[in-house]
Structure 1
Amino acid sequence: MTFTVGYVTHWNMVSPSFMYVISNKTIKKLSVTCLNCRYYGTVPRNISFDTPNVVDFNYSDYLRRESPQCHLDSLAKATLDLHFFEDDKRADVTDLISGLHNVKTLHLTSSTVEVISVCCKGGLPVFNNLVDLVFSSKKEGWKVLLPLLIERSPNLKNLVLSTTSVIKMLSIMKCQGYPSEMKHIRYLLVNMECLEVVKVYVAAEMDDTKKMQLTEDLLKFPAASSKLKIQVM
C-alpha cells in the first residue's frame, strides 16, 4: 500500500500547537509533503509518524520547534528534504533522525544536510543497517556532518557525494584503517578535484606499525588533484 500526503495548515489562534498524526499498520510506502505553508503565510505544525511497516519513506517539510516522533521500525529506504522555516534555527530534529536508524538507503538533500548539521542537537544515532548513502550539499555544513555519518554507519558500502563547495582541506578523525573507512577515503580522493591536503588522525590505540601500513596504503590511492598531500597524524 502507498500513502501520499500533501497539505497546507492554517494558523489557529485557539490551538497553535495542533499536531498531525499519521498512524497505520499496513502502509508500505509513505510520501509526505508539507511545503506550501511558506507561500500561504501559514505556520508549520507538529507531525508524528506511527507507521511501523513502512519500508519506503519520503518526507519534505519545514522545521518545527519540536522534532517529529517516528515509529518506522521496518524502514529500508528514506529521502529527507527538510528546510528552515523563515530562517528559524531553534528547532531540533533529533527524534526524527533517530527514528530512521534502521534505514538501509538514505538520501539527504542539500537543505537537509544544513538542517541536520545545525539542528540535530541530541547527536546522530548509529545506523547499523545503512548500506547506501546519497549526500548532497551546497554549503559548508557537510564537512562536519559527513565524517560523523560515516563514523556512525559501520556497514556503509556505497557513498554518493554531490557538493558544489571547493574543498581544499579534509580532516578524518579516529581512523582505524578498516576496509569500509579506506573505501570512503578513496572515493573522496578520486572525486574531489580541488583537494590539496588530507589530514588523517589515527585512533589512539593504533600502534606505529599499523600507522605506517595505513600511510603506505593511503599513498597508493589515486587522486583527482595533482596538488594533494596526505598527512597521517
Structure 2
Amino acid sequence: MFLQGNAPLNKFSLRCKTRYDSARVDSWIANVLDRGVKDLDVYISSNGDYPLPSEILMSKTLVRLKIGGGNEEFTIYDIKDVFLPNLKFLYLLDDIVFDETGDKVSKLLSGCPVLEELVMINLMWGLSEFCSVSSSTLKRVTICSEIIDENPRNVSFDTPNLVYLEFSDVVAIKYPKVNFDSLVEARLGLQLTPIQEKRSRASRDGYSSNDDEEEEMDANAADFLTGISNVKILYLSSDTLEVLNLCCKAIPVFNNLIHLTIETHQDVGWDSLPNLLGNCPNLETIVFKGLDYKDTNRCEDETYRFNNDTYKCWDENGKRCVCKPWKGTPIGLSSSPVKTLKVFEFGEICSYNDDMDKQSEVIKYFLETMPNLEQVTLYWDTSFDDDLSIQLTEFQMLEKVASPKCKIQIISDNISYSTTVHSSPSSNGLVFFSNRFPV
C-alpha cells in the first residue's frame, strides 16, 4: 500500500479477526482515506476494544461504507462529527454498539445528505430512549435488531421517499412518527420480548405464569401498521402475526395492497388474519409459507391426551377432528377479492399435529369461503415414500369444493410422474407438475 504512494484508490476491504496491531490498522485506514477511496469495507473482530477511527465519518469521497464486527462488540464511541457528502450506501453489521447517550442513528443520517440505502444488522438500537430513522433521500432500509428483554420506548421513521423496508425488531411501546409515503414493499419481523412471548402463550394455553410479577402488554403496533398502510407488497413473519394477535388494537385499511405473504408457525394462532384480510379490498395474491397454526378454536365435546398434551377435538367417528382456524366464515374471507392462493412447504410435517389432513382441510376451507379464487398452487413437500394414492384422493376432494373457474395446481420436486385428474366433466382438472418431469 505504501509503495503505491498517493495513487487514487477505488475500493479497499479489510478483514481483521485476531492478533492485529490497532495502530497499524488505523494507519491503513488513514492511507486509503487520503487516497480518496470510494468503497470501504472494514470488518474487525475486536471484543469491543477497538474504536472506529473518526476520520471514516468525515470522508468526502466515500460512496459506499460497510462496517462489521464479526459477531463481537465493535463499538463506535461518541460520534461527534459526521459529514459524508457523497455516501449513498451505508451498512452497519454484526453487533456494532453505539454508546448509549443520544440517538446515534439520527446523527449518522444527518451527516449523509445523499444516502439512498441503509442496512443495520444485529444492532442493539432499542436500548436508547428514542430511536429514529429520518432521511428524505433514503430509498431502501433494512433493520434487523438484536432481540432484547424490553420493548423499545419510542421508534420513529420519517422517510417519505422510501420504496423498500425490511424491519425486524421487538415491538415498541410507541411509534410517534411513521412516514412512508412512497413505500412499495415491506417485510416485517416484529416480535414480542422473550418474557412477553412466554407469558402470552402460557395464558392462551390455560397455564399460569411462574413469575410473580405480571408484565402489561403496553406495546401497540397499530400506529406502525397505519404508517405502512399504503404498501403494495407485504411480508409478515409468524412473529409479526403473533404481535398482531396481541399488540394491535386496530388494523388499518390497506387500500393499495395487492400481494401478501404470511409465514406461519405451529405456536401462533390466526386470530388477526380475518380482520387483516377484510381490510385489504384490492388484494390479488396471498402466499402462505407453510400452513401451521395454533388451534385456538378447538371443539369442546370430549378431551383426550397425546404426548402429555390435552386436546378437546373429536369428530363423529371418534377420531381427532381437524379444527378450523376460525369459527364460522369470517367476513374477511367471505368478501375477499383474492384470485391467487399459493402455499409453499405444503405437506411439511412439523409435528403430529401438522398432518396432511389438517393442511388439506385448511385449503378446502379457503376454497369454500373465498369466492373469487381462480388459481390455487400448492408446492408439495413430499417424499417418494408417501402413499401417493391416499394423497391423490385428498386432492380430488379439494377439487370437488372448488368453483369451476378455479384451477388447482400441485408442484413438487420429488413426484416422479405427472398426471391430470378430473373429478367431474365440468371441472378444469387437478394438475400435477414434477420439476423433474414437467408436463
Task: Give the TM-score of the pair, scaled to structure 2.
Answer: 0.39
Q: Following TM superposition, by how much is the alpha carbon of 1:33 offset from its aligned partner in structure 2, in angstroms?
A: 1.9
Q: Please name the residue that 1:3 is paired with.
A: 118
Identical residues among aligned pairs (%): 27
Q: Please name the residue that 1:108 is paired with.
A: 236
Q: Following TM superposition, by how much is the alpha carbon of 1:134 offset from its aligned partner in structure 2, in angstroms?
A: 0.3
User: Residue 66 of structure 1: which of 174, 188, 198 is its match?
Assistant: 174
Q: Please name the residue that 1:230 is paired with.
A: none
User: Residue 57 of structure 1: which of 165, 175, 190 is its match?
Assistant: 165
User: Residue 329 of structure 2: which of 160, 172, 177 is its match?
Assistant: 172
Structure of larger gyration radius? 2
Structure 1 contact 117–145 (Cα < 8 Å) conserved: yes
Q: Please name the residue that 1:93 is paired with.
A: 221
Q: Which structure's relative contact order is higher, taking Cα pairs within 8 Å and 6+ residues apart?
A: 1
Correspondence list, 1:118-157, <5 A: 118-121=246-249, 123-139=250-266, 142-157=269-284
Between the aligned partners of 2:238 and 2:332, the Cα distance in structure 1 is 26
> What letter is aligned with 1:67?
Y
Q: Following TM superposition, by how much is the alpha carbon of 1:141 offset from its aligned partner in structure 2, in angstroms?
A: 5.0
User: Residue 161 of structure 1: which of 271, 285, 288 is its match?
Assistant: 288
Q: Please name the residue that 1:32 is paired with.
A: 143
Structure 2 contact 168–189 (Cα < 8 Å) conserved: yes
Q: Please name the residue that 2:361 is paired with.
A: 194
User: Residue 48 of structure 1: which of 153, 156, 175 is its match?
Assistant: 156
Q: Following TM superposition, by how much is the alpha carbon of 1:108 offset from its aligned partner in structure 2, in angstroms?
A: 0.3
Change (3 A) 1:111 1:175: closer
Between the aligned partners of 2:330 and 2:362, the Cα distance in structure 1 is 17
Change (3 A) 1:195 1:21: closer
Superposition RMSD in Å: 3.4
* Partner deviation per Cα, 1:86-122 (whole Å, 9 max, x = no partner): 333331111101111110000000111000111011x
Q: Secondary structure at the match of 1:194?
A: helix
* Partner deviation per Cα, 1:31-86 (whole Å, 9 max, x = no partner): 11222535xxx773422100010000010101232236310010000001111113
> What letter is aligned with 2:329?
I
Structure 1 contact 174–201 (Cα < 8 Å) conserved: no
Structure 2 contact 278–335 (Cα < 8 Å) conserved: no
Change (3 A) 1:160 1:98: same
Q: Following TM superposition, by how much is the alpha carbon of 1:168 offset from its aligned partner in structure 2, in angstroms?
A: 3.5
Q: Which has the higher strand share?
A: 1
Unaligned runs of 5+ residues in structure 2 are 1-115, 197-216, 296-321, 347-358, 372-399, 410-439
Between the aligned partners of 1:196 and 1:131, the Cα distance in structure 2 is 20
> What letter is aligned with 1:91?
A
Aligned residue pairs, count:
198
Change (3 A) 1:124 1:222: same
Task: Give the TM-score of the pair, scaled to structure 1.
Answer: 0.70
Structure 2 contact 278–336 (Cα < 8 Å) conserved: no
Unaligned runs of 5+ residues in structure 1 are 12-16, 203-215, 225-233
